[in-house]
Structure 1
Amino acid sequence: MNVRPDSGIWGALLNSCKIHGNVELAELALEKLIELEPEDAGNYVILSNMYAQSGKWDGVARLRELMIEKGIKKSTACSWIEVKNKVHSFLSGDVSHPKTDAIYAELRRLERLMRESGYVPDTGSVFHDVEEDEKSNQVCSHSERLAIAFGLISTLPGTRLLITKNLRICEDCHVAIKFISKITDREVTVRDVNRYHHFKDGVCSCGDYW
């Protein structure tokens, strides 16, 4: 390059490595990003995610230790939806909402219909070395899915849903919401930390690249 790569360039490379599964190059990208923006937890999480997807739990452990050593904490995932002029917020695995039972019942209904349509959970975004069924339960209760389920049970059929999330939407939720938009015949827009995702009839506006 004719200019010195900045954090934006290295960050783009790190995300590309995730898409292509290039762990070795991702390690180099993270090394450079740590020099440029050592406090950005998201960079560590991307590589940790790649390690988890590859079953390299020692790598996940090393990154956790490094984050603890540097005093870096991963931001808690949170999603918001406004219904009838009231904002409702959800954390991953949240059970604090007054309509929790109905929300999880809707999630179970959606998952059954999604699986019948060919959906298979991608548990690669779950860092913990636990059984696959437990990983599946974890990804199925991510904050954006809770917000969507609440929106579905709280609005009239055909109402467009707008969700805001403070972190990057994970791959599994991205696939799941495509299924949900088709199954429910709803338009769902998710504004994550990177961009807007407009889901309609099983397709996302990002073209599955974000």
Structure 2
Amino acid sequence: MASIILASASPRRAELLTQIGVPFAMHPAHIDESTRASEVPGDYVERLAREKALAVSAHFPGKWVLGSDTSVVLDGAILGKPSDEADAETMLASLSGKTHQVMTAIALARDDGCESRLVTTEVTFRVLSKSEIVAYAASGEPMDKAGSYGIQGLGGIFVKEIKGSYSAVVGLPLQETAALLADAGYPVWKHWSSSRESQT
């Protein structure tokens, strides 16, 4: 078993963690993701990341567990995953021509301890036509994504400007993830293979 557990089933988070050379195993967390009364978006996202990490950590004593959560926030309101194509179309229309925030939290837990970071990125959409909104919703890509779009996929053509972390918008803030692991005594660069090693 790898010494790092990713508390997620997201292929996008797995790809990002692989990108920075971290060996890991995946074990999705199953928690209640309901918002609490008067809970602000940033607190909600960070709480979920921590709860995911701690929930999975309980099954793997002594292992480091990474939990993450992402929410799209428009005018202070959280836009979750769409329930159907019509819902996706409504969300995309609301994002058209506007700037929204993508809040992603990362948490690193082991046993009862947990450290977390919250990353907020501003994303501006160009004005979207009705026909492309309908076509994108019909593609199926929005259905498992917060805010009904994936910046790393077809939805990338909607993005006019981004201020902040691209990887956080995809689902895992790489700089903050590496910093949490380094602070825990697990610097990711120690797992990078050397070109010299492959030549011997």
Fold match (TM-score > 0.5): no
RCO (CA 8 Å, sep 6+): is it higher in 1 or 2?
2
- Shorter-normalised TM range: under 0.3
* Greater strand content: 2
